[in-house]
Amino acid sequence: MNNTLEYMVCCRLTLAQLECGQVVGTSQHKQQVRSTTAELSELFADLYEQFRSPQLLGLQITSISPRLAPEFAGHAELLQ
């Protein structure tokens, strides 16, 4: 079987507001991301790569929920 598992990840980003290379403020944003990466270690790397920028000060994962990919949604036993 190919990737049958995906993850729904909720995270909080802390971003810097920059002026002339100086941090003049920060803001927080909540994001919800669906990932088809099967391995959790790869998931963390993919999240960092997705949000990586000079403004990124923090990436906090608030929840990770495994879900079956849509083509396997009727087979809950695969989550066990």
In a domain, 80, yes or no: no
pTM for the full model? Answer: 0.68
Q: How far apart are CA 57 and CA 79, in angstroms?
A: 34
| The length of the chain, given as a count of residues | 80
In a domain, 27, yes or no: yes
In a domain, 20, yes or no: yes
Instruction: State the average pLDDT for the chain.
Output: 83
> Each residue of 40-63: pLDDT tens digit?
888 888 888 999 999 999 999 999
Name the domain count of the chain. Answer: 1
In a domain, 30, yes or no: yes
Q: How far apart are CA 9 and CA 24, in angstroms?
A: 29
In a domain, 39, yes or no: yes
In a domain, 72, yes or no: no
Which comes out higher in pLDDT, residue 69 or 12? 12
> Each residue of 24-44: pLDDT tens digit?
999 999 999 988 887 888 888
Domain assignment of residue 14, given as a range: 5-63
In a domain, 45, yes or no: yes
